[in-house]
Structure 1
Amino acid sequence: MISKKEYASLDLAEYKGAEYLSHFPVFILNVTNDLKYQFILMCYFF
């Protein structure tokens, strides 16, 4: 049996992990959009 305190910290870690993962695809999209934009700019200027 794990104590209530341990369970609470475990729950928080899971929540933080889920929160981080939910933001992760957005982060990836932002990076790829930036790269795509830079690539288009490079093609345009060179």
Structure 2
Amino acid sequence: MTIDFEFLDSFERKRILLVDDDPFILGVLEKLLGLLGLETILQAGDG
């Protein structure tokens, strides 16, 4: 998976959908997105 950070910086409101069931990868991506200023990260349940 790649994230184009220049693309993300071009928008005021950012929404990113992460689809991954590996908790480690999800945790790393959440940390990186948090560094970009995305403070609220929602996770979908199993339903």
Do the two structures share a fold, i.e. TM-score over 0.5? Answer: no
Which TM-score applies when normalising by structure 2? Answer: 0.34
Q: Name the larger-Rg structure.
A: 1
Q: Which has the higher helix share?
A: 1
Greater relative contact order: 1 or 2 (C-alpha under 8 angstroms, separation 6 or more)?
Answer: 2
